[in-house]
Amino acid sequence: MGRAPLLRHLLPTTVVGSYSVPEWLERLKTEYYQRRISAAHLAEIHEVAIKAAIKDQEQAGIDIVSDGELRRDNDIDYFLARIPGVLIERRAKTDYYDYFEAEVAAELPADDKESLGLAADYAFTSRLTDRPVKFSFTGPFSLSRRISGASAYRDPADLVRALARRLNLEARSLAVAGAGFLQIDEPFLAGYPDQAELAVEAVNIVTDGVPVTWALHVCYGNRHARPSWEGHYDFLFPAVLAARVDQLVLEFARKGLEDLNLIKEYGWPYQLGLGVIDVKSAAVETPELVAERIRRAAEYVDPGRLMVNPDCGLRHLAPEVARCKLRAMVSGALIVRTELGLPERGDPNNLTPPAPGDSASRMPGSQPTGDSNG
């Protein structure tokens, strides 16, 4: 909303967020919770892993990279553990990937402006690459699903709104730090399809007044490389049409392309992050299979509004499998780009967002922002 797309060539490639967590990192994360290594040591380990993840993405040819979310144990704890007013009594874990048990005994402090540290995470990543960076964080609806005992809120929806206001403050800090592409992840929403309107309302609280390119990622969960829910994206529509975001990032590779009909039926007019890599399978797609999925999507969405990405995060894939899948994705996008008579790659000096005034603001009723996991 309010920013032009990050790349000026068609079919840019990106990731959704998380990157492969190698076994040695999993082991060290768990050892931290068993008090065998210090927090300072683990922080150094995370920095090494992030540097390697970015290098992997660059060598695969990814246009817009991420930090791989490698500091985060899972999709929830990194955020809840930092939000003032969220209580986590027991912080030991048997396995790093387990969830904390969190609760809220009183309303979240409305005037607390303590940083959650996300801007510093972004700044570290941006110093490691000359490519655009996508920075993602879990949305307020999904965060609320892992909080129990929220008796301070008579209406559970008020907790979602309070979390959204807190994330809005952090998004503002990210924008000040230079982040130009932010993504809200809602991995739990598919399990609560009747809550789509509330989730969209909360998304709009998060994005309010933050002039960056915004993406909203909705998947069916990716817990231990298995979906948490099944179904179709019809529960998102028409509610998601009111979301003040520039891009909708959805999974299609695992589920099939049937739900592209919804994009056309409801006239989603903005960018689509097209999932073309199945992250729940170790089988590596061929570039031609990726290209065919992009061609099919182009029958429903103008190629100028497509961004090419995996279905979801790559966390559960072995490192070599993740690398091979990203290379296949980049090659598949190149096949279609070549068929369309487009340059093989964009101008590397043109990989930063134009000035905010270069395109129309992404608000309901405005014109699409144009061609661009993220």
Nearest to 249, CA basis, from 307, 292, 172, 330: 307
Which amino acid is residue 278, in one-letter code? D
> Is the Cβ–Cβ distance between 176 and 119 less than 8 Å?
yes
DSSP codes of every residue in 144-197: HTTEE--TT-SSHHHHHHHHHHHHHHHHHHHHHTT--EEEEE-TTGGG-GGGHH
**What proportion of the chain, given as a percentage, has pLDDT over 70?**
88
How far does the chain reach from its first CA to its final CA, in angstroms? 15
Joined tokens for residue 59: 């060598």
What pLDDT sits at residue 15?
Answer: 98
Per-residue pLDDT of 87-142, as tens digits, reads 999 888 999 999 999 999 899 998 888 899 999 999 999 999 999 999 999 999 99
**Residue 356: per-residue pLDDT:** 30
Give the H/E segment covering residue 214: strand 213-218
CATH architecture of 23-358: Alpha-Beta Barrel (3.20)
pLDDT, average across residues 249-255: 95
pLDDT at residue 350 above 90? no
Q: Which residues contact 264 (CB under 8 A, 6 or more apart)?
A: 300, 301
With bands split at pLDDT 50, 70 and 90, how would you rate the model's confidence at 200?
very high
pLDDT digits (tens, 9 = 90+) for 258-293: 999 999 999 999 999 999 999 999 999 999 999 999
pLDDT above 90: residue 220 = no
- Please check the confidence at residue 228 and state whether its pLDDT lies above 90: no
* Position with higher pLDDT, 358 vs 77: 77
Query: Which residues touch 8 (CB under 8 Å, ≥6 apart)?
Result: 346, 347, 350, 371
**In angstroms, what CA-CA distances link 60 with 57, 77, 330?**
5, 30, 7
CB contact at 8 A, 137 and 167: yes
d(CA 9, CA 203): 28
Task: For the chain, give the mean pLDDT.
Answer: 89
Is pLDDT above 90 for 224? no
